[in-house]
Amino acid sequence: MGRGSIIPESNACRRMDRFSLRLRGGVAAAVVLTLLVSTLRPDGAFGATITHTTVTLSDPQCTAGAAVGNKLFLASSRSLEVFKLATGERTVETHPAQTGTLAAVSLGNTLMVCGYTTGAGSQTVVDTYDLSTGLWSRQLISGGRISLAAASAGGMAFFAGGSDLAIGSQPYSDFVDIYDSTSGLWSTAQLSQGRIGLAAGSAGGKVFFAGGFTARVDGVTIPSDVVDIYDTSTGEWSTARLSVARWELAAASVGSRIFFGGGSVVGGGSNVVDIYDTATGVWSTASLSVARRRLAAGSADGRVFFAGGVPSGSSNSTTLVEIFDIATGEWSITQLSRSAHSLVAVSTPDSAFFAGGYILSHGTMTQFRGTMDVFTVVPEPATIALFAAAALGLLARRRR
């Protein structure tokens, strides 16, 4: 597969970056940075510009995020930072959490957050924020755990795997807590393997929990290649296998396809991207240009982004962002504003957000990265002109 090149952004495209130009108040730190542009596609259609903006966060220690309705939420153990997607306006709200490596998911008009800890251990709670009322509520789940994975599909939210600090790091949990928004009821299921460091996502009405590690034996991590799959249309579970067993991988979906990229293997990082197409039931693979672990993945307008992480053999985090265009099958490369691993990734139809994370330098975590990078896919001016011409044509026909 070929790799794209970065070329300067045009003034017309810069004016079209809705997110960067509408940022107000506390988000005035947004700055238009590097841009990546695709040219005419092989099928003759016009391409698009990917604009890149940055926002300075009020709380750099966010560990989970989700988009709900017209808002973007970033959750930390201390606060909830909320951005209006249309305007970029920001508010910071109190968050009923303690500490922990959180997992967040959107479900309809609500945000659900799990993975808290206190001095007594992991907490058996999920906090739910209702966008319509602006109120929090708290519900109990089957067991407290941290570093779990979360996903939603078919009106259901899933919280799977993780570790319970109250009983020590092992054995890792195989529990899946499931909330059905239609019935308002909770239920439980089990993964085929208890594990931590797994990736979760959804595509085509199915929920996926991939990879992770099952144990540490004599200081050696035992990775998993298992993918547990739940079909929301049938209510049935099945399993598949990654091409390479690994943990600390990243997941993102576009259309009927879900991508599992990078991750940790014994002795370093992985450059493998496992791809499953729910429409055909076929698995395939691709490769990142740099093997890395603790990366993040997001998607926007037919493109998958793999951002940050720690390259194999390196003791520093990276700024690398690799972008796969499913329409052309081509890869391109750009950069984050600052290097980081363990970023919080949030996707909307036209933008991929990468927030927070940790800066690793010479093997030491030096600081939290208090920045959010926003990559927005914007149609090229020629494409917009065609749309405008078509609209004018329709209006002229109606007047006749």
Q: Which two tokens stand for residue 50?
A: 């990917």
Asked if pLDDT for residue 4 goes beyond 80, the answer is no
Q: CATH number of the domain that 68 lies in?
A: 2.120.10.80
* Phi, psi at 48, each rounded to 5°: -145, 160
pLDDT, residue 27, reads: 37
pTM for this entry: 0.84
In a domain, 52, yes or no: no
Phi-psi region of 394 (alpha: psi -120 to 50; beta: other; left: phi over 0): alpha
Identity of the amino acid at 21: L
In a domain, 180, yes or no: yes
Torsion (CA) 307, 311, 317, 321 in degrees, nearest 10: -20
Q: How many CB atoms lie within 10 A of CB 298?
A: 25
| Contacts of residue 397, Cβ cutoff 8 Å, sequence gap at least 6 | none
Please spell the DSSP secondary structure of 271-308, one letter per residue. EEEEEEETTTTEEEEEEEEEEEES-EEEEETTEEEEE-
In a domain, 47, yes or no: no
Over range 128-149, report the average pLDDT.
86
Question: Quick one: which of 155, 131, 154, 128 has its CA closest to 141?
Answer: 128
Maximum mean pLDDT: which of 103-117, 169-183, 198-212: 198-212
Q: What is the pLDDT of residues 183-218, one digit of tens each?
A: 999 999 999 999 999 999 999 999 999 999 998 888
Asked if pLDDT for residue 39 goes beyond 80, the answer is no
In a domain, 28, yes or no: no
Percent of the chain clearing pLDDT 90 (strictly above): 60
Q: What is the Cα–Cα distance from 373 to 72, expressed in whole angstroms?
A: 13
What is the enclosing helix (H) or strand (E) of 310? strand 310-311
Over range 298-326, report the average pLDDT.
96
Q: What is the pLDDT of residues 24-36, one digit of tens each?
A: 333 333 333 333 3
- Cα separations in angstroms, 248 against 89, 291, 337: 33, 12, 22
Percent of the chain clearing pLDDT 70 (strictly above): 78
In a domain, 146, yes or no: yes
| Contacts of residue 232, Cβ cutoff 8 Å, sequence gap at least 6 | 153, 154, 155, 156, 205, 206, 207
Please spell the DSSP secondary structure of 31-74, one letter per residue. EE---EE----TTS---EEEEEEEEE-S-TT--EEEEETTEEEE
The answer to whether the CB of 136 falls within 8 A of the CB of 129 is yes
Asked if pLDDT for residue 160 goes beyond 60, the answer is yes
In a domain, 132, yes or no: yes
- Write out the residue range of the structural domain in which residue 177 sits: 58-190
Task: Count the helices and strands in the chain (H runs, E runs).
Answer: 3, 38
Under the banding of pLDDT at 50, 70 and 90, the label for residue 97 is low
What is the enclosing helix (H) or strand (E) of 388? helix 381-399
Bridge-partner residues for 302, per DSSP? none
Range 229-237 contact pairs with CB under 8 angstroms and sequence separation of 24 or more: 230/158, 230/176, 230/189, 230/206, 231/205, 231/206, 232/153, 232/154, 232/155, 232/156, 232/205, 232/206, 232/207, 233/154, 233/205, 237/189, 237/192
Asked if pLDDT for residue 99 goes beyond 80, the answer is no
Specify the residue for token string 């993780």.
162
Count structural domains, the chain: 1
In a domain, 154, yes or no: yes
- Cα separations in angstroms, 36 against 47, 107, 346, 377, 378: 11, 32, 20, 10, 11
Question: From the centroid of its chain, how far is CA 324?
Answer: 15
| Contacts of residue 238, Cβ cutoff 8 Å, sequence gap at least 6 | 228, 229, 231
In a domain, 361, yes or no: no
The answer to whether the CB of 245 falls within 8 A of the CB of 266 is no
The answer to which of 42-46, 255-259, 306-310 has the lowest mean pLDDT is: 42-46
Asked if pLDDT for residue 15 goes beyond 60, the answer is no
Strands 358-361 and 330-340: unpaired
Q: What is the Cα–Cα distance from 345 to 357, expressed in whole angstroms?
A: 10
**Burial of residue 183 (number of CB atoms within 10 Å: 0-12, 13-18, 19+):** exposed
Q: What is the Cα–Cα distance from 101 to 123, expressed in whole angstroms?
A: 12
Q: What is the Cα–Cα distance from 100 to 376, expressed in whole angstroms?
A: 30
The answer to whether the CB of 262 falls within 8 A of the CB of 250 is yes
